[in-house]
Structure 1
Amino acid sequence: MNNTTNTIPVTLESIARQKAELQQKIRLQKEIMTGLTHEIFAPLRPATNKGNAMMRTFNTGMAIFDGIVLGVKMMKKFKRFFGRKK
């Protein structure tokens, strides 16, 4: 087996340089993630016209209704699963 490989010697300076580069990459990723989080959880912009406002209201209402229906269905399944066995 030939163990002669061309490796760069590891020094404290190279470790410090790599650490600084990685910290910079981490800071950049943190800024990107913060920006995306602010975009996702930002309040909705006001509707520009009456049609958009009505569609937004309708979509919100349907989402609430869908959540309630899903909750009721889950409660029934849990009652059946954990209910009395006859």
Structure 2
Amino acid sequence: MNDYLKNGLFLAAGVAIGALGAVALGKGKFSIRPAMADLLSHGMDLKEKTATVLERAKENLDDLMAEAKHAKESREGKSVAEGETA
């Protein structure tokens, strides 16, 4: 199963679940407000965890870029110094 088909199936399932939820809310036969509040709170927790991981990854990439810049400047400095002594 290729990725396009799999992603398409996930999209179709999400649309179907959303449509069923909209119908259930429209009929108003049962209250899903507590379940929705719980689901949203879990979503907010996931968002915070994801933001933490992404911030840590950004810091690591910034450190790596600084090290690479320093290594490049060191190489360029050696090249200039070698050219002057020649």
Instruction: Give the TM bin, normalised by the shorter chain.
Output: 0.3 to 0.5
Question: Rg larger in 1 or in 2?
Answer: 1
TM-score scaled to structure 1, two decimals?
Answer: 0.46
